[in-house]
Amino acid sequence: LMRTIFVLFDSLVRNALECYGGSAVATPQFKRFAQRAVTFDNHYVGSLPCMPARRDLHTGRLNFLHRSWGALEPFDQSFSELLRAQGTYTHLISDHYHYWEDGGSTYHNRYSSWEFIRGQEWDKWKAMVQPPLERFKQMYHPLQQPEGRNDGRLQTMVNREYMKNEADYCCPRTFKAGFDFLDANRDADNWLLHLECFDPHEPFAAPARFRERYPTGYTGPILDWPRYKRHEETSLEVQELRANYAALLSMCDEYFGRLLDYMDCHGMWKDTTVILSTDHGFLLAEHDWWGKNRMPFFNEIAHIPLVISHPAFAAQAGQRRQALTQTTDLMPTLLDLHGVKPPVTVEGHSLMPLLAQDMSLRVAAIYGMFGAATNITDGRYTYFRYPHDMTRQDLYEYTLMPMHLKSMFAVDDLAQAELARGFNFTQGVPLLKVPARRNAKGQPVGHTGQGSGYEDTTTVLFDLASDPAQLRPIRDVAVEERLLSQIGNLMKKNDAPPEAFLRLDLTVPAKSLRV
């Protein structure tokens, strides 16, 4: 029997989970799952943030060196489409509304069927032509007030007007849809349920019964949505924001536990694989930053949870693995679970052999975001490699789907496009080569989220053995040279464009290596 439940949360912070040593938030259900599964201790992101991570997940290869936030491309080979072609039924249930914006619009259609749970963050869900702006101003902290009518925070405030009871919240509704799918289909064979919850992504809004577990003494207006910026808040405001994250994480934990209960009740552990992971973490004022995208990708963002339970490896329950893994490995793993061979373009590795025993899959992993640093870890060190001058680098988007997060590419940008030869993963298809958008500082940007661009753009090396919190950069020329050489090798394997090497002062591989 081949049945898979792939549970993906967004912004699930690894070190907040008890199964990864967290103690500030009670997460007994995640811990309970880890006790019957294999937990991966060195799992990292690939491309960031949301949709680039999901493109890695669908294709088994990195995309941040070629493209910013964007849709699946015509030449991309999605795990879901490959499974469907071999007779596996795939179903997506998600409240992750980015799938239904321009920059995510080709993902959900790869599944046999899908269900969209409405209302998260600035999902354009409920219509309010004249919202009560004065009331909203009193209700919410100045930090989360919209800046103009087109700021998505206003839509969020409108959406939240329709979430009065716990059952109205998106996480409970998403899991309910999951149980509806299982009620109808759990006895069928050969299916994959991709159950994806936008929580605990901000805003950190949770029902009162979860929030009451984390008292802070804060008495001001609602403060549950940090902006992606440097930390300037009072200690009480920091406590309040962290407490709201904790409350939301507690809700995720409880509803995930209901899935475990369902598995127990229906005896599903004997024939169903369950995979739990996330797209990236989040900074809650660590390193004096809030959020993600704009600052270096410290491990609070880049080092993420992965826990897998497989019926054939029940004897390995509770074990941990030290192998260095990353998001690109999930795609070939999902194929492997259903007996499908990955395409030659896949860079990731199936994790099935690791469920039996620990072994090394890779020497190092690179990760990052379009236009920012190219980062690498070998498990011992992390190295953030930035261009010397972020304003003077050439950078291009390679795409046949010219869409940003919430918009199509501007006509002015497309007017500068050239038709470029394809890469080793584009199946012989040429691509539009479009100069990257630049911010007011002249930095190329694809999607930096909230804010004007990347900051703290200094190349740094951290030794995780002596400094796991990445607070004290070190200088070690030999280590830097070794990691830089590995960056070059992995970029070459990824068939990165010439400018990706040049911006890091690396030698461009010979043209003959390109297809």
φ and ψ at 57, to 5 degrees? -65, -40
68 contact partners, CB below 8 Å, separation of at least 6 = 52, 369, 370, 371, 397, 404, 436, 445, 446, 447
Predicted confidence at residue 512, as pLDDT, reads: 37
Instruction: Calculate mean pLDDT across residues 181-195.
Output: 98
- Model confidence band, residue 1 (pLDDT cutoffs 50, 70, 90): low
pLDDT band at 451 (very low <50, low <70, confident <90, very high): low
pLDDT digits (tens, 9 = 90+) for 315-369: 999 999 999 999 999 999 999 999 999 999 999 999 999 999 999 999 999 999 9
**HSE on the CB side for 242, CA within 13 Å?**
19
Report phi then psi at 439, rounded to 5.
-90, -175
| Percent of the chain with pLDDT strictly greater than 90 | 94
Q: How far apart are CA 349 and CA 6, in angstroms?
A: 17
What average pLDDT does the segment 496-506 reach?
A: 97
* H or E, element range at 309: strand 306-309
Residue from 162, 177, 112, 101 nearest 447 by CA:
101
Backbone angles phi, psi at 63, to 5 degrees: -130, -5
**Residue with structure tokens 């990165």?**
496
Residue 510 has pLDDT above 90, yes or no: no
Residue in the block written with tokens 């008495």: 219
Please name which of 12, 142, 125, 63 lies closest in space to residue 447, comparing C-alpha atoms: 63
**Residue closest to 487 by CA, chosen among 468, 511, 459:** 459
Per-residue pLDDT band at 400 (split at 50, 70, 90): very high
Own/partner contacts of 485-488, CB < 8 Å, gap of 24 or more, are 486/363, 486/364, 486/366, 486/376, 486/378, 487/366, 487/374, 487/376, 487/383, 487/385
Instruction: Please report which confidence band the pLDDT of residue 514 belongs to, taking 50, 70 and 90 as the band edges.
Output: very low
Q: Cis omega (within 30 of 0) on the bond before 146?
A: no
Tokens 């995208």 belong to which residue?
293
Least confident range from 26-35, 428-437, 504-513: namely 504-513
- Amino acid making up residue 276: L
State yes or no: pLDDT of 511 exceeds 70: no
Q: Whole-angstrom Cα distance, residue 6 to residue 125?
A: 26
Q: What is the mean pLDDT of residues 299-328?
A: 98
Residues 415-442: tens digit of each pLDDT: 999 999 999 999 999 999 999 998 888 8
194 pLDDT higher than 70: yes
Q: What is the DSSP string of 382-394?
A: EEEE--S-TTS--
User: The tokens of 87 are what?
Assistant: 């007779």
Distance (Å, whole) CA 114 – CA 91: 5
Report field, pTM of the whole predicted structure over 0.85: yes
**Mean pLDDT score of the chain, rounded to an integer?**
96
Cβ of 235: how many Cβ atoms within 10 Å?
9
